[in-house]
Amino acid sequence: EVQLVESGGGLVQPGGSLRLSCVASGFTFSDYEMTWVRQTPGKGLEWVSYISSGDNDIYYADSVKGRFTISRDNAKSSLFLQMNSLRAEDTAIYYCARRFEYWGQGTLVTVSS
Per the rule left: phi > 0, alpha: psi between -120 and 50, beta: everything else, 42 is left
Is 5 an interacting residue with respect to other proteins (CB under 8 A)?
Answer: no
- ∠ Cα 79 85 87 (to 5°): 100
The residue (of 16 and 71) whose beta carbon lies closer to other proteins is 71
The residue (of 5 and 16) whose beta carbon lies closer to other proteins is 5
Strand partners of residue 93:
39, 108
List the one residue from 5, 21, 30, 46 that touches other proteins (CB under 8 A). 46
List the one residue from 70, 79, 92, 106 that touches other proteins (CB under 8 A). 106
Is 23 an interacting residue with respect to other proteins (CB under 8 A)?
Answer: no
Q: Residue 75, SS3?
A: helix
The residue (of 5 and 87) whose beta carbon lies closer to other proteins is 5
Is 100 an interacting residue with respect to other proteins (CB under 8 A)?
Answer: yes
CB within 8 Å of 62: residues ≥ 6 apart: none
In degrees to the nearest 10, what's the CA dihedral of 8, 11, 12, 14?
130
The site that binds other proteins (CB under 8 A) totals a number of residues, namely 18
Question: Could you list the residues that contact other proteins (CB under 8 A)?
Answer: 35, 37, 44-47, 50, 59, 61-62, 95, 100-106
